[in-house]
Structure 1
Amino acid sequence: MTTPDTSRKTVLVIDDDPAVLGLMDEKLAESGYTALLAQSGCAALEVVARTVPDLIVVDALMPGMNGWEVCAALRHDMRLTSVPIIFMTGLTETEHVIRAFEAGAADYVTKPLRLEEVMARIGVRMEAAARIRSAHGALDHAGRFLFATSRAGAVLWATPQAGLILEELADTTGTAISLPGTLPAPGGVLLRQNMGEHEFVLMLVGATGPDELLLRITRQALFPEKILRDRLGLSAREAEVLLWISRGKTSRDIADILQVSPRTIDKHIEQIYNKTGLSTRAAAAATASRLLQAG
């Protein structure tokens, strides 16, 4: 039995012309890509519901959903915000090209297709998207869950973790973010919303373009001590002490906050180490922060 090569990049090609699909399928395979083929916009949406391709190529003029409508629908899926879309079009008028970019396309090629040029553009867009995903992943790793919206609130892109949080919120807020008419200063809070045992906080980082706002989203536990108690098997007081350790407090600081002696705090810390298998304050703080972030 042959094992699928998961390292091969996947390209979704959307075109109502079987001849174009056949040519692209052959050329993509020859170039080391896995091709997914869709003969209509509706079929393409069914494909992306099951899998997220690395890049999408879509024809502009198709019966049913045209390329602009397909592009707009794809851009409403937060899983696809970082997936580049290349338009194929025989329409070279400036207004049609601009319309493609406004719908969310990263690039375009003209028909009849010059396959070597198409492959070159796919390669360039793949590489750029990989760099962006790497940068977004690094931001997530650093705890900076960022995303961008238009001033109307449409999500333009999101780091992976920010995208997951936005999906949680989508059930109550919809796919667009409701922004106030007057924005706060950078660092100001745009939205606070409680869901289950968490509070979601949306903050404005700043404007990165005429119609692009950079936002940061955080998910904070409403009952952090309970999470630490349940996940690590700690007592209520031990969970409270660990919470303050995760916030950078010294034993003396925690003793003052809880109105007990530093020696009592040290005994609680010793019990935390015994129960968790951790041996340093730094490890304890990192573990607590990770658990609270994961919720």
Structure 2
Amino acid sequence: MLRPHPLRDVVLIVDDAPENLSILHSLLDKSGYMVLVATDGARALDCAHRLPPDLILLDAVMPGMDGFETCRRLKEDFRTRPIPVLFMTGLAETEHVLQGFQAGGVDYIPKPIRPAEVIVRIASHLRNSRLIVQTRAAIDAAGQAVVAVAPNGEVLWLTPLAQSRLRGSLDVEGRLPAALCDWLHGALRASEDRPFELLTASEELIVSRLRRGAHGEELLMIQCKVGSPEPAALMQAFRLTPREADVLYWVAAGKTNRDIADILGMSPRTANKHLEHVFEKLGVETRTTAARMALNLVTPHIAQ
């Protein structure tokens, strides 16, 4: 849905107290924000799905669905998960503050609110959120289907292209398929870059490790499998020997060095030596990157 004022940040205020809504609405409107309001958790979820705001000010204590449960539900949905949530509450006990952060909130504003502080906090979180959104949008605009995964298999964030390709493959809790999690854990233990083939209802995908993030999350690339180029094409494109081209062909097909050695009738050490020569000629350091370059000969979209 298109926003009527694309240059104005949208803030959703969720509070069951009319006087609080009035004060905050006036404050934010005068500060240049487009303001939406909801008086309970259910209306907040509906509003956030119909017109996703840039930030949510959420009252922690409300009748029915409280702010903590509302925040948890927002964070369960990929469409609303990236929206920063700032809790507003008069509950100053540590357990309530921690509960807000555990539910997915990024900040805590005590009541009664201090207008200047609220505006500064909102501006700071919007700035940080905007940088994250722009970075992910840039990745998606470049045609990269990337997903960040926590050690337990939970999807932390993903680009729209990755979301499209994984649609229907994630479980109800937003985690990767069990087989894919097992592959990732095995790859981490063995320090391997071997890709994983994921068969969905509509296509076959190639999942490759990109790198580990600053907080332990794994960044994965999701590609559509369209087949590997013939060894002759690899020889010509990368100036490889026949054996090097054979090795690269099977690397692009997702085979391990031991698999390649068995297929080509050579020792794993010889297969590894050929692969080292391939890396040198391609100017790469990992088999994932080498496979991606090989698959690009079939169609540039394979690396997208």
Superposed pair shares fold, TM > 0.5: yes
Equivalent position amino acid for 2:237 in 1: T
2:212 is aligned with 1:217:
no
1:167-210 deviation line (CA, Å, top 9, x unaligned):
4533x67522343495532554696421213325264733643x
Separation of aligned partners in 1, 2:63 and 2:76: 21
* Cross-structure match for 1:134: 134
Displacement after TM superposition at 1:4 (Å): 2.8
2:174 — aligned with what? 175
Question: Distance in 2 between the 1:106 and 1:12 partners?
Answer: 15
The separation in 2 between residues aligned to 1:37 and 1:160, in whole angstroms, is: 28
CA distance in 1 between partners of 2:133 and 2:24 (Å): 25
Number of the residue aligned with 1:233: none
Deviations 1:124-152 (A, max 9, x none): 00001111222223444273613132x33
Q: Which amino acid aligns with 2:144?
A: G
Q: Distance in 2 between matches of 1:190 and 1:13?
A: 45
Measure, in 2, the Cα distance between the counterparts of 1:287 and 1:52. 39
Aligned-partner residue type, residue 148 of structure 1? V
Identity of aligned residues (%): 30
Which whole-Å deviations, capped at 9, do the CAs of 1:73-101 have from their partners, x for residues lacking one? 11111122322111111111222111211
Tell whether the 8 Å contact from 1:208 to 1:214 is kept in structure 2 after alignment: no
Residues 143, 161 of structure 2: 8 Å contact kept: no
Distance 1:287 1:47 in 2: 44
1:289 aligns with 2:300: yes
CA contact (8 A) 2:14 2:59 kept: yes
Quote how far apart the aligned CAs of 1:113 are: 1.2
Contact kept, 8 Å, 1:57 with 1:86, in 2: the verdict is yes
1:73 corresponding residue in structure 2: 73
Cα gap change, 1:61/1:193 in structure 2, threshold over 3 Å: closer, same or farther? same
1:206 equivalent among 184, 209, 212: 212
After superposition, residues 105-116 of structure 1 pair within 5 angstroms as 105-116=105-116
Matches within 5 A, 1:1-295: 4-140=4-140, 141=142, 143=144, 145-149=146-150, 151-170=151-170, 175-177=174-176, 178=178, 179-180=181-182, 182-185=185-188, 186-188=191-193, 192-195=197-200, 196-201=202-207, 203=209, 205-206=211-212, 208-209=214-215, 212-221=216-225, 223=226, 250=237, 288-290=299-301, 292=302
Check whether the contact 2:55–2:126 (CA below 8 A) recurs between aligned residues.
Answer: yes
- Name the TM-score, length of structure 2 as normaliser: 0.67
Give the secondary-structure state (helix, strand or coil) at the position aligned to 1:184.
helix
Q: Is the 8 A contact 1:189 1:204 kept in 2?
A: no
SS in 2 for 1:104: coil
Change (3 A) 1:188 1:251: closer
- 2:283 is matched with none
Cα distance 1:216–1:25, how it changes in 2: closer, same or farther (>3 A)? Answer: same
Change (3 A) 1:73 1:182: same
Q: What 5-or-longer segments of structure 2 have no aligned partner? A: 246-295
Measured after TM superposition, the shift of residue 163 of structure 1 is 3.8
Q: Partners in 1 of 2:139 and 2:192 — Cα distance?
A: 17
In structure 1, distance between residues paired with 2:235 and 2:5: 45
Contact 2:149 2:155 in 1 (8 A): yes
C-alpha contact (below 8 Å) 1:14/1:44 kept by paired residues: yes
Output the CA distance in 1 between the equivalents of 2:26 and 2:160: 32
Question: What letter matches 2:55 in structure 1?
Answer: L
Post-superposition offset of 1:39: 0.9
If the length of structure 1 is used for normalisation, what is the TM-score?
Answer: 0.69
Secondary structure of the structure 2 residue equivalent to 1:113: coil
* Alpha-carbon distance between aligned partners in 1 of 2:51 and 2:174, rounded to the nearest angstrom: 20
Cα RMSD, aligned residues only: 3.6
Q: Residue 42 of structure 2 aligns to a residue in which SS? A: helix
Q: Aligned residue pairs: how many?
A: 244
Kept in 1, the 8 Å contact 2:194–2:208? The answer is yes
Cα distance in structure 2, aligned partners of 1:286 and 1:10 = 44
Deviations 1:207-257 (A, max 9, x none): 643xx5223131223x459xxxxxxxxxxxxxx79xx98x8952987x998
